[in-house]
Structure 1
Amino acid sequence: MSSDDPLRRVTLTRTGPLTFRATTESGATIEMGPGGGDLFSPVELLLAAIAGCTGMDVDAITRKRAEPDRLDLVAEGRKVRDADGNHLTDLAVDFSVSFPAGEGGDAARSVLPTAIRRSHDRLCTVSRTVELASPVATRLDGAALGDPGQVD
């Protein structure tokens, strides 16, 4: 799969009870589990994906002016169970950034708020997808599942 191909795919393989290995088309892997141990939970991976995506956007924009001394992000959300099922609310990403003194650092600091807004409003594929609420299709061996209320 080339980087120009719009399709993105990750394959998950069960490695044990409630644990999976996610593998990208390029062969990169990450282990996940139910949380609370040394593995990321799926919810933690979603938060990391949101922060990572917007962090990369902001880094790409600001580092043209100066390399940051520090670029840290905290992503958080509140897991709730309500009439809509389990989901996250109150999603937020908090940036903590510093740049070196001088003209380059001043330039990077001046574009930082705009870079964060551009990432949120247009650039970050992950947070844009969450905010636009893209439906998720479910399939079994490649075939679409029928109506969830239908019993075979």
Structure 2
Amino acid sequence: MTKENQRSVEIERTGAGAYEVRNVRGGVIAMGGGDDDRFTPVELLLAALGGCSGIDVDLVASRRAEPVRFVVRVRGDKIRDAAGENRMENLEIEFDLEFPEGADGDRARSVVPRLIQQSHDRLCTVTRTVERGSPVAASQVGE
């Protein structure tokens, strides 16, 4: 792993069931266990899936025309499988897009299906990682 390739966040407990996720650029997201309006870790996973593909599609399509509506919905089922393990399945990313009438809007609409497929098949790091799977190592430092 090189510094150029490494991505990281830090999660700090701020109270009972309350956490802040920070990136190296100073961004902060509130995270919790689902008892309040903070995002849960599963919701952040869904946001990462939709955000990754949404950005891929937006970067190219919006060069052709500014969208009138650009909404990405992500859903899935949280299950406990036969082995007693919690996980998500039936993950779906839905694009609800509208572009203006006219030639520019037509050009944007025409590229969206290809962009969604390319994002899914090779561009979106989050989707590619979830679908292929990757080992996760857990360790403790300090006490």
Could you tell me how far apart the structure 2 residues matched to 1:10 and 1:51 are? 19
Q: Which amino acid aligns with 1:19?
A: A
Q: Which amino acid aligns with 2:89?
A: T
Q: Which amino acid aligns with 2:86?
A: N
Q: Which amino acid aligns with 1:135?
A: P
Could you tell me how far apart the structure 2 residues matched to 1:130 and 1:78 are? 15
The count of aligned residue pairs is 139
Could you tell me how far apart the structure 2 residues matched to 1:51 and 1:92 are? 9
Structure 2 portions without partners, runs of 5+: none
Question: Match of 2:20, SS?
Answer: strand
- CA drift at 1:84: 6.1
Instruction: Give me the TM-score of the superposition, normalised by structure 2.
Output: 0.93
2:74 paired with 1:52? no
The structure with more helix, counted as a fraction of residues: 2
- CA drift at 1:53: 0.7
Instruction: Return 33-42 or 115-124, whichever deviates more.
Output: 33-42
Residue matched to 1:26: 25
Residue matched to 2:10: 11
Q: Which amino acid aligns with 2:93?
A: V
Instruction: Return 108-117 or 36-45, whichever deviates more.
Output: 36-45
Instruction: Give me the TM-score of the superposition, normalised by structure 1.
Output: 0.88
Could you tell me how far apart the structure 1 residues matched to 2:115 and 2:106 are? 14
- CA drift at 1:36: 4.1
* Matched-pair identity in %: 48
Question: Match of 1:26, SS?
Answer: coil
Question: Match of 2:39, SS?
Answer: coil
Q: Deviations over 1:5-33 (max 9, x none)?
A: 11001000001112210110111001100
Question: Match of 1:14, SS?
Answer: strand
Q: Which runs of 4+ in 1 moved over 4 A?
A: none
Could you tell me how far apart the structure 1 residues matched to 2:35 and 2:102 are? 43
Could you tell me how far apart the structure 1 residues matched to 2:84 and 2:64 are? 44
Q: Deviations over 1:116-143 (max 9, x none)?
A: 000011111111110111111111118x
Could you tell me how far apart the structure 1 residues matched to 2:34 and 2:124 are? 25
1:62-81 equivalences under 5 Å are 62-81=61-80
Q: Which amino acid aligns with 1:93?
A: I
